[in-house]
């Protein structure tokens, strides 16, 4: 079981990823900022190129960071894929809502909305995971209470059958 310090460190790293994703998502509007400030003209190849690059930038950053964590052994591959998929889903939804707001109210309004959508995803996931943890711990406490009551009443412990050795080897490979 993780110590309190290890859990806190894990959350700090997660907050770093959230900050990087939020900045990258905000950078998707850099082409509009550049056109608005006069750095780029509305027509031409450079505008098309920056739109393509800034639109894909958050997803490239997410793939690179999650991939590097898997390669460096900081995360198992399955966890890296799940985390990367969630981060990309969150970013895509934020960019979609931001694009809608940008079309209706301008890109300056889209920036806070985009970041707000990302924050809502994080809040929802955190609360959902907290609920799952509380439920599993509550279930475990109920099982412990039943076990203590059985011991107190002198009832025999339920027999747990052991798995055959080959089943354990197969389960360990999955």
When the pLDDT of each residue in the chain is averaged and rounded to a whole number, the result is 76
**Whether the Cβ atoms of residue 17 and residue 87 lie closer than 8 Å to each other:** yes
Position 171 confidence tier, pLDDT thresholds 50, 70, 90: very low
pLDDT confidence of residue 75: 85
What is the CA angle 91-8-6, rounded to 5? 115
> Per residue in 132-156, pLDDT tens?
888 888 999 998 999 899 888 888 7
Its sign, for the CA torsion 52, 82, 174, 9, is: positive
Q: What average pLDDT does this structure show over 30-38? A: 58
> Per residue in 51-93, pLDDT tens?
666 777 888 888 888 888 889 888 888 988 998 898 888 888 8
pLDDT confidence of residue 27: 65
Phi-psi region of 163 (alpha: psi -120 to 50; beta: other; left: phi over 0): beta
């Amino acid at each position: 079981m993780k110590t309190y310090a290890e859990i806190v460190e894990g959350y700090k790293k997660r907050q770093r990823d959230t900050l990087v994703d939020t900045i990258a998502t905000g950078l998707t509007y850099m082409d509009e900022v550049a056109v608005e400030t006069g750095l780029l003209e509305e027509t031409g190849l450079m505008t098309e190129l920056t739109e393509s690059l800034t639109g894909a930038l958050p997803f490239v950053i997410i793939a690179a960071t999650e991939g590097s964590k898997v390669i460096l052994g900081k995360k198992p591959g399955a966890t890296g894929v799940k985390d990367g998929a969630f981060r990309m889903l969150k970013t895509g939804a934020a960019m979609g809502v931001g694009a809608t707001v940008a079309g209706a109210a301008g890109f300056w309004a889209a920036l806070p909305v985009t970041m707000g959508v990302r924050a809502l995803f994080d809040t929802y996931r955190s609360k959902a995971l907290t609920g799952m943890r509380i439920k599993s711990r509550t279930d475990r406490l109920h099982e412990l209470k039943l076990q203590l009551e059985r011991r107190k009443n002198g009832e025999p412990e339920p027999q747990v059958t052991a798995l055959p050795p080959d089943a354990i080897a197969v389960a360990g490979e999955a």
